[in-house]
Amino acid sequence: MAKLQGRAFLIVMDSVGCGGAPDAGDFGDAGSNTLAHIAQACAEGRAEVGRSGRLKMPNLDRLGLGAAVRLASGDAVPGLEAVPTGLWGAASEVSRGKDTPSGHWELAGVPVPWDWTYFPTTEPAFPDDLVAEVCRLAGTDGILGNCHASGVPIIAAHCAEHLRTGWPICYTSADSVFQIAAHEEAFGLERLLKLCADLAPMLHARKVGRVIARPFIGTCDDFRRTSNRRDYAIAPPAPTLLDWVQGAGRATHAVGKIGDIFSMRGIGHLHKGKSDADLFEHLVRLGADAEPGSLTFANFVEFDSLYGHPRDVAGYARALEWFDAQLPRFLAQLRPGDLAIFTADHGNDPTWSGTDHTRERVPVVGWGAGLREVGLCGFVDVGASVASHLGLAAQGPGRSFL
């Protein structure tokens, strides 16, 4: 067990799955593999926009990323062929979802004990009483959308009518979410955030995982979604790793979406940014400054939001290579006794059909534990291992691999 002064950094590369989930077929995702398929596309010259050649992630690969993908799925990962020098393995999820809250909660030691509520693919998608409540809270006579959709296309389809009527644009996806898009100026950012916050308790009671505010600005011919997105997530069903650490009197730092995902439970310090580049600067700073015995829990969302859902293979590869190239700056700040684990919450294979997440195992790659093959483990084992490193007892079902 590490000495008390050792710190822990749990870093989620959102959607960077590695295939091989035993139950992928139950989700229609048998054969999906985010990392392997990106690497194969790069090697075959099918990801040449803004980059070229085989996938280049030498820093994570040296720790064991390529080996983790091969362990998880048996798939070839061209370009990621180093002999591991760090902690490496792959984790499987038991929660019946391939969404952000399920993945993060289970990584933090708490599987989801219920089935999420998903909206049907019919049009309209939402029940009349939900639509009526949105209208009451928004002070409008109706809503727009009311269907399954991706964010940019549905804003493009309804932008003009939204600006004319003031009606919010409401949509969902294959995840358990209710999303509301509105113009920051014409509708009002604070009005949108209050609408989502006020609506969230009704949807959480129905086991809908998140209500998401999706603000945008600009004209209908030239609009863009802003960084003022806000997720109103249902609270975890039990204390998580963040609560365990904070309950022991230690400092906790949340970087990116972690505060939203955990409904701010167990979070002492919140570090937000407009981009993953901003968030990485927080991570580097915390590598230098975070308190002894503390936990830093970070989420880097743009792999998923900017490249996975739009099925942009080259963009996803560029993002992976950018992230890997930044890592030496962070790792150089770490101290003897620290542990950094890089993992993911689900997959989002940009070569796959549709626009939704994919059910996959996730890599577990670590710095600070020496060469250690942890094999196939559970998401919950990640949280238990971080707790063990910090000298704390895990309160959930996970078992430490340290």
- Residue stretches of the annotated binding site for Mn(2+): 14, 304, 309, 345-346, 357
Residue 20, helix vs strand vs coil: coil
Spatial neighbors of 232 by CB under 8 A, at least 6 apart, are 196, 197, 200, 210, 211, 212, 213, 260
Could you give the CA distance from residue 372 to residue 365 in angstroms, rounded to a whole number?
Answer: 10
Contact 73, 36 (CB under 8 A): yes
The DSSP 8-state label assigned to residue 9 in this structure reads E
Could you give the CA distance from residue 325 to residue 319 in angstroms, rounded to a whole number?
Answer: 10
Could you give the CA distance from residue 41 to residue 189 in angstroms, rounded to a whole number?
Answer: 40
Spatial neighbors of 194 by CB under 8 A, at least 6 apart, are none
Contact 355, 311 (CB under 8 A): yes
Tokens linked to 128? 């009349």
| Beta bridge mates, 291 | none
Residue 377, helix vs strand vs coil: strand
Torsion angles phi and psi, residue 206, rounded to 5: -95, 10
| Beta bridge mates, 9 | 296, 340
- Cis omega (within 30 of 0) on the bond before 124? yes
Residue-wise DSSP of 312-373: -HHHHHHHHHHHHHHHHHHHTT--TT-EEEEE-SSB--TTSSSSS-B---EEEEEESS-SEE
The residue among 217, 172, 122, 207 whose CA lies nearest residue 355 is 172
- Binding site: what residues are annotated? 14, 304, 309, 345-346, 357
